[in-house]
Amino acid sequence: MTKVRFTAALTRFFPGLKELNVEGSTVQEVLDQVSSEMPGIANYLLEEDGSLRKHVNIFVKDRLIKDRNTLSDKVHSQDEILIYQALSGG
């Protein structure tokens, strides 16, 4: 199973957020599973067209995903994914 971790900043919006182990061979499939475990999180992470929102980054094995539009980057069962909320302000 793929381990999915989240930055602490996301717990502000999803207080019950925790590390998850899910199945999936692409980032999109993993996010589908995450969404089923954490209802509403997809609306926060994704645009209406399914692409990744500008303020969100996803890393697979410490590498930023390449496909922010269809989330087709490959994922393997032992990979770790980090979903990262970019912070702004000053």
Does 28 reside within a domain? Answer: yes
CATH number of 54's domain: 3.10.20.30
Nearest to 23 by CA among 38, 1, 41: 1
The beta-carbon contacts of 32-39 under 8 Å, at least 24 apart in sequence, are 34/4, 34/83, 38/14
Q: Confirm whether 90 is domain-assigned.
A: no
pLDDT in tens, 16-36: 899 999 999 999 999 999 999
CA distance 12 to 68: 24
Query: How does pLDDT run across 32-79, given as a tens digit for each residue?
Result: 999 999 999 999 999 999 999 999 999 999 999 999 999 999 999 999
How far is C-alpha 71 from the chain's CA centre? 10
As for how many domains the chain has, the answer is 1
